[in-house]
Structure 1
Amino acid sequence: MMRDYDEITSFLGEWGPFQKSIFILLSLSIIHIGYGAMSMVFLSDTPHHHCSLPYLNSTGSNLSQALPLEEVNGQLDYSRCTRYTRLNSTEAQFSNETERCLDGWDYSKEQYISTITTEWNLVCGDAWKVPFSQSVFFMGVLAGSFVSGHISDRFGRKSVLFLSMALHTIFTLIQTVSVSWEMFVILCFIIGMGQVSQYITAFILGNELLGESSRLAFSTLGICVFYALGYAVLPLYAYFIRSWRMLLLVLALPGFLHIPLWWFIPESPRWLLAQGRLKEAEDIVRAAAKKNGVTPPSVIFREEDSAKLMVPPL
């Protein structure tokens, strides 16, 4: 008679020290994803700006003479993308004709020291690059959503989980030294793949390691609440760190705290059984039983239990 996995491992109990540790550790790892997913809100924000006017002080002119007015958010303000054409190089005289910001832009430092917008002048004709950067990130999320499940079926939940953590952390660190917008946006795609792969694999691993009654709590109170907690702490980081490169660095460094989790989070016994690796699956369940203070049966898994879960290779 074929036995169900939950029936086989019912001796572990539902909420022992093993299940609690898995619940907490996997949930904590999600905070890193939560604040990473929305960091672009602060990294790419556009501060108040106007055309740079390097000749202003030397001629004694002021902004009202050099910049036209336009309506911005319902209020009159200096134009952000045009300036009056200067009549000559020695006097403070300007025509009524306008021209582009030929000398770049001056940005307000009141709220940010720097963002990717101020770094690469993603304003006016290049303003589309700011939302496109976020779109590329979510393209990576979409791509990762399609492939992460298949990869974890082939190589294991634990391996893909920690590979995704490494991908997310390392490429975020590389992103802090981006030399161009193009480099930054390509890394956004890779980071998006890493983040969603980590989330999906943590979700799968948690549901396969935890008991039937604790899976619902993990899928809602655990993984979702801790993801939201990441959202909540992001503005706190951004309030104290006003440089986009430094903010990215601080957001990336907690990823290294995941390294010790390798020795505390086991592979999914379900996946091991599906691969025909009965001995490894049984060793993990016995270690869980020891942690919970229960005595496992002399034989936990049989060949037919593995056959029931066996899946054909991709």
Structure 2
Amino acid sequence: MAFEELLSQVGGLGRFQILHLVFILPSLMVLIPHILLENFAAAIPGHRCWVHILDNNTGSDNETGILSEDALLRISIPLDSNQRPEKCRRFVHPQWQLLHLNGTIHSTSEADTEPCVDGWVYDQSYFPSTIVTKWDLVCDYQSLKSVVQFLLLTGMLVGGIIGGHFSDRFGRRLILRWCFLQLAITDTCAAFAPTFPVYCVLRFLAGFSSMIIISNNSLLITEWIRPNSKALVVILSSGALSIGQIILGGLAYVFRDWQTLHVVVSVPFFVFFLLSRWLVESARWLIITKKLDEGLKALRKVAHTNGIKNAEETLNIEVVRSTMQEELDAAQTKTTVCDLFRNPSMRKRICILVFLRFANTIPFYGTMVNLQHVGSNIFLLQVLYGAVALIVRCLALLTLNHMGRRISQILFMFLVGLSILANTFVPKELQILRVALACLGIGCSSATFSSVAVHFIELIPTVLRARASGIDLMASRIGAALAPLLMTLTVFYTTLPWIIYGTFPIIGGLVVFLLPETKNLPLPDTIKDVENQWSLALSPRLECHGAISAHCNFCLLDSNYSPISASKVAGITGTHHHVRLIFVFLYRQGFTMLIRLVLNS
């Protein structure tokens, strides 16, 4: 936590941090289309069986010049229960007698039918080509589309775990650069995949890279930001993801061909890879991993960029070592993933944070699947979803700064749960109200993601932050995979999945009370900082606006009062400061009286 003192000397929010954001935010905007690409690249268009008499272009059949296309379709394709042409079967032989019938019959039970042995004909009004039309992923093979999405999510799951370990070991910047290049290559090659299995493998590798890019971008910028600006930076990053969803809707509308869309969203990452050589590694991570020379070099570079003069004179190895001595001593002990669960304070925090991520991911994906059934214009729905999420995420910034981390999460998680539960009782005829509630649920769920992300960074120490992020993202991917499976519970009770979607975030909102408030507190660097963080937030030895004065009567209640560094108690001033001092004073007086009673007895 002493790193905040070094950061204050080089600038916690200056030109350097702005330049970092200018690079990171566009990369996040272009990244989100990769994750949601199958919404358009794997869209299932209208289709029917290919039939010789209708789709043969040789013109050898005399009937094609006499009968209309609708008539030929009627004698070649049976009708389903809704009196529409079947998508997966055709007549073995043309049923000419159907031309003389005024009504319709259930011809599938009266005439021999067969599967689409010669392939399918696709409606190209929306999409000229998708992976579904390229590899015929319809009818008996329609489940293969879900295989692609499953492998993408699995890649994100594996990437979050492995990438977190590598980032803590080799640095945020190096792993981030590698993933930029890997994502650019894999998704560009996916556009030209010769077979479906090759496409699946490439999408798995793309998912592996995308999750690491999200987590390392967040870590790299937040570890260079002063405490009272972290919420702003996280909200900007999550807002960039929402803008990316809007961009995807526009790109998919312009580039309807799936191969062109793949290339368009992949090429920018070659540019990001080249530009990432100017990124600066986290000095916080460098110092904690005992790379003092490199950490000092990074600090001086930031100070120079921020226009801090005489940085080389005030910053040297001795200053860095003396300032971070406690953290360096703690870093002598090698940390592993097991340390997240060995220490009671860390175990409590990581378990609660993982559950919060899981509890919010399930309704998020459950609501998103429901939104896709609102209308047929998926381009507009994608833009609508991104716009609502962006607006509510901006609102999250205000609540985080004014209401704190815990209250913000509780508020948004309760709104998510209540909007979903309310939607279960709204009749299907009231489509506008249902859409509004669904959008409210998605928007508040997005705001919850942002709030949890801010709280997560402030609760986990630097030495374990990337690994903990991998575990946290693993819970998110498990929730994403589980959300669609819950819809199978409709066979028992129609609204049961939605009741589960709505209950999880409400339970998560109650669990948030078990976490400490971290608003404006410095980031913890070691596990010892985590143990001291909660006591620091409640410590009675606090400064009142930087110094003791006669204007603060509560500061004078304790004759042993001794103020500590203001950088360690930033934000714990004013009314909240006084209230805490009152409770601490009453607690001390009561405890003293209890001891006296025991001794006197």
Change (3 A) 1:38 1:214: same
Instruction: Name whichever structure is richer in helix by fraction.
Output: 2
The answer (yes or no) to whether the contact 2:159–2:207 under 8 Å persists in 1 is yes
Q: 1:248 maps to what in 2? A: 262
Structure 2, unpaired ranges of 5+: 100-106, 337-601
Deviations 1:120-146 (A, max 9, x none): 000000000112211111011111111
Partner of residue 172, structure 1:
187
Quick one: distance in 1 between partners of 2:305 and 2:333?
30
**Matching of residues 256-295 of structure 1 within 5 Å:** 256-295=270-309
Output the amino acid matched with 2:79. Answer: L
Rounded to whole Å, the distance in 1 between the matches of 2:276 and 2:122 is: 45
Which residue does 1:84 correspond to in 2? 91
1:54-78 CA-to-partner distances (Å, cap 9, x unmatched) read: 233625260001111114xxx5321
The 1:21–1:149 alpha-carbon spacing in structure 2 relative to 1, beyond 3 Å, is same
Equivalent position to 2:321, from 302, 305, 308: 302
Residue pairs, 1:22-61, within 5 angstroms? 22-56=20-54, 58=61, 60=63
Q: CA shift at 1:306, angstroms?
A: 3.7
CA distance in 1, matches of 2:209, 2:19: 24
Take 2:296 and 2:251, find their aligned partners in 1: how far apart are those partners? 43
Contact 1:276 1:306 in 2 (8 A): yes
Structure 1 gaps of 5+ residues are none
1:69-121 Cα distance to aligned partner (Å, 9 max, x none): 114xxx53210000111179xxx9x9711111111001111111100000000
Q: Percent identical across equivalent pairs?
A: 25
Cα pair distance change 1:313/1:170, threshold 3 Å: farther
Q: Given the alignment, which residue of 137, 147, 150 partners 1:122?
A: 137
Shift of residue 274, structure 1, vs aligned partner: 2.1
Q: 1:15-164 residue pairs with structure 2 within 5 A?
A: 15-56=13-54, 58=61, 60=63, 62-71=72-81, 75-86=82-93, 96-164=111-179
Following the alignment from structure 2 to structure 1, what is the Cα–Cα distance between the partners of residues 220 and 333? 17
Counterpart secondary structure, 2:114: strand
- Alpha-carbon contact 1:169-1:255 (below 8 Å) kept: yes
Q: State the AA in 2 paired with 1:290.
A: H
Would the aligned equivalents of 2:300 and 2:315 in 1 still touch at CA under 8 Å? no
The answer on whether the counterparts of 2:290 and 2:328 sit within 8 Å (CA) in structure 1 is yes
Q: 1:117 to 1:175 in 2, by over 3 A?
A: same
What letter matches 1:243 in structure 2? Answer: D
Query: Are 1:219 and 2:234 an aligned pair?
Result: yes
**C-alpha deviations, 1:222-270, integer Å up to 9, x for none?**
2101111111101111111111111101110111220343243101111
> Per-residue deviation at 1:203?
1.2
Q: Aligned with 2:84: secondary structure? A: strand
By how many angstroms is 1:14 displaced?
Answer: 2.9
* CA offsets 1:196-223 (integer angstroms, 9 cap, x no match): 0111111111111222222221112x21
Root-mean-square deviation (Å): 2.1
Q: Are the structure 2 counterparts of residues 55 and 45 from structure 1 closer, same or farther at C-alpha, using a change threshold of 3 Å?
A: same
Q: Give the alignment of 1:194-209 within 5 angstroms.
A: 194-209=209-224
- Report the 3-state secondary structure (helix = DSSP H, G, I; strand = E; otherwise coil) of the residue aligned with 1:301: helix
Aligned AA (2:46): H
Q: Which amino acid aligns with 1:153?
A: D
Quickly say closer, same or farther: Cα 1:12–1:195, change in 2 above 3 A.
same
- Higher mean alpha-carbon deviation, 292-301 vs 4-13, is at 292-301
Contact 2:7 2:224 in 1 (8 A): no
Residue-pair matches, total: 304
State the match for 2:253 in structure 1: 239
Shift of 1:275: 2.2
Comparing both chains, which one has the higher relative contact order based on Cα–Cα distances under 8 Å and sequence gaps of 6 or more?
A: 1
Q: Which amino acid aligns with 1:216?
A: A
Counterpart contact for 1:274–1:311, Cα < 8 Å: no
Aligned equivalents of 1:311 and 1:170: distance in 2?
39
The alignment status of 1:4 with 2:36, answered yes or no, reads no
CA drift of 1:313 comes to 6.9
State the alpha-carbon separation in 1 of the partners of residues 328 and 268 from structure 2.
Answer: 38
Letter in 1 for 2:80: E
Whether the aligned pair in 2 keeps the contact of 1:138 and 1:192 (CA below 8 Å) is yes
TM-superposed CA distance for 1:310, in Å, is 5.0
**Which of the pair is proportionally richer in strand?**
1
Aligned position for 2:370: none
SS of residue paired to 2:90:
strand
Contact 2:280/2:298 (CA < 8 Å) preserved in 1? yes
Counterpart CA distance in 2 for 1:233 and 1:129 is: 27
Distance 2:16 2:331 in 1: 23
Mapped partners of 2:189, 2:168: distance in 1: 29
C-alpha separation in 1, matches of 2:158 and 2:37: 20
Larger of the two Rg values belongs to structure: 2
| CA distance in 2: counterparts of 1:125 and 1:216, whole angstroms | 48
Normalised to the residue count of structure 1, the TM-score between the two structures is: 0.91
Q: Which amino acid aligns with 1:41?
A: N
